[in-house]
Structure 1
């Protein structure tokens, strides 16, 4: 079976710009326990069918091939990955892999709801660390933003993560003008109190309703200006391929991060691929094209070795076609059809 590109045995996932891809983001579901206004509407969502969602076996299969190709870090995302009842099994099977002779890293991005009751099994399964999303510390505002009265549950999840061995612990917030821009300092103080790093994310055009408005986005420079009124900020050297610029607060040891995908893109150092919950490979969060892995994985007429080759070929094709950047700031930029919940963070 040929997909147009013959895999090159023994080489990693390197694109035409020399970027080596060592990070695979795997979405486990498009469903979520919240309805954040910048992500999906409260009602009227069209969900992936249960039969189209990748199984634990299929996820482990793709991860094994990716690890053989040099992927060293796997981030499990959604939607909300804690909605998967087999999450601990998936963590365990991926964490058992090795890449280049070394154990891989398995991390989780979550809204934290239900994390407290599952964190022990996830740590035991081999989870390395966790990122928890929280955009406000005000209960009324949380309800307005997410359409769910669950702030206490998120805070419980943060507390459980802080009490666990998962480090570094990171909290993520989308910074929005006129929404939570008066809480930036409060959010950092919440993170510091839990020995975590707060990371502010510029709002990106990834909402399912395609209502993104650049004027409502709080920029990197504005975020840093607000934080600079409270703390001195010293850049942390050696960013590498990390999406966040990090700054030491005063004399440390705590830090804060800013992910400025819109005003200060970091595409030239991107090392990430994405796998959607229904088995589509995306070379970029903002890609308008996807490549299907699921058909090959479910082709029972193919021996496992041939399915390995098919998976490798799709991964290489995706990397080979990757563009230099996402072009958000180009007048001809097209927002992806899928929303963030269906792509995976």
Structure 2
């Protein structure tokens, strides 16, 4: 089991998209009220007094859509300024990124993942659930802005959905050939949207890899990230191809992360809410910080058992939130 030193921090559960794989279609979500979100100060207290002393040095900001969180640049600056921070990254849909890219970079953000599930504007808009004016161009502009500013690595996340965008995977992979971009193909995970996709299934990563081998050849890359992706490269390409295979190739033994939700719940596993801790309520009820550290330390100790029990049971876990509410 890897050392758990990586915390995914959801800044907000709301999003300006309604992606098919992230939110249940046709249903209204119960969003967290503003007063129930972790405040900037509460988040920094937890990082400085609980997580950093327990060895956490890598942080990823997620949502919902983190760029709609008020004060997000200030949050980036504060986390980047922590002496213990070795790595700070963000996952965004890119829609609001173009005018904010330089501010985020200047605040200390260096790595960014942007969701780009299609190069076709119509398919893109179908996936992200927008109506009226297309969102594709503004997202593409955000990607270009991040590239110009100097984010490195710049990663593009692609959730492969059978019958929707699976015919585009070669075009998306080709983006890595003459750009220092890293395209990551993510197996579709039916969380909160079983009714929509239950009969479609998902495409195994190995099937995609074979497609790329047949087209260009493919070799394992020496580049390794902080997450669960298996990294490959098209011969001669500037960028890389990553494969996140949570459905076909269990990577629980490599998991080095925990998840902090926007309302302060600490979860040891994406697919399992057993053992979760309500850190926000504990802070607001003035629980001593050494006691909170001890609670988190106990959860860290049993994390491997929580991961493997759920995977080996043949279930997808015990959870009540959608992917957008969990933080991905």
* TM-score, normalisation: structure 2: 0.91
Contact between 2:59 and 2:88, CA under 8 Å: does it hold in 1?
A: yes
Paired residues for 1:41-120 under 5 Å: 41-64=25-48, 65-99=50-84, 103-120=85-102
Q: Which residue among 288, 302, 326 is the counterpart of 1:321?
A: 302
How far apart, CA to CA, are the structure 1 residues paired with 2:200 and 2:291? 44
Q: 1:120 to 1:80 in 2, by over 3 A?
A: same
Question: In the TM superposition, what whole-angstrom CA distance separates every residue of 1:77-106 from its partner, at most 9, and x where no partner exists?
Answer: 01100001210111111111122xxx4321
Instruction: Give yes or no for the alignment of 1:295 onto 2:281.
Output: yes
Q: 1:334 to 1:270 in 2, by over 3 A?
A: closer
Instruction: Give yes or no for the alignment of 1:29 onto 2:15.
Output: no
Structure 1 runs (4+) deviating above 3 angstroms are 190-194, 208-212, 237-242, 326-335
How far apart, CA to CA, are the structure 1 residues paired with 2:5 and 2:156? 23
Shift of 1:336: 2.1
Q: Secondary structure at the match of 1:116?
A: coil
How far apart, CA to CA, are the structure 2 residues paired with 1:267 and 1:214? 26
* TM-score, normalisation: structure 1: 0.86
The structure that is helix-richer by fraction is 2
Aligned to 1:145: 127
Q: 1:272 to 1:294 in 2, by over 3 A?
A: same
After TM superposition, the structure 1 stretch with the greater mean CA deviation from structure 2, 148-157 or 39-48, is 39-48
CA-based RMSD of the aligned residues comes to 2.1
Contact between 1:129 and 1:169, CA under 8 Å: does it hold in 2?
A: yes
Q: Secondary structure at the match of 1:183?
A: helix
Paired residues for 1:1-345 under 5 Å: 18-40=1-23, 41-64=25-48, 65-99=50-84, 103-148=85-130, 149-192=134-177, 194-207=179-192, 211-213=196-198, 215-237=200-222, 239=224, 242-289=227-274, 290-300=276-286, 306=288, 308-322=289-303, 323-325=306-308, 327-328=310-311, 330-334=313-317, 336-345=319-328
Q: 1:286 to 1:150 in 2, by over 3 A?
A: same
Structure 1: tracts of 5 or more residues without a match: 1-17
Contact between 2:20 and 2:128, CA under 8 Å: does it hold in 1?
A: yes
Q: What is the aligned length?
A: 320
Structure 2: tracts of 5 or more residues without a match: none
How far apart, CA to CA, are the structure 2 residues paired with 1:142 and 1:55? 33
How far apart, CA to CA, are the structure 2 residues paired with 1:192 and 1:186? 10
Contact between 1:67 and 1:97, CA under 8 Å: does it hold in 2?
A: no
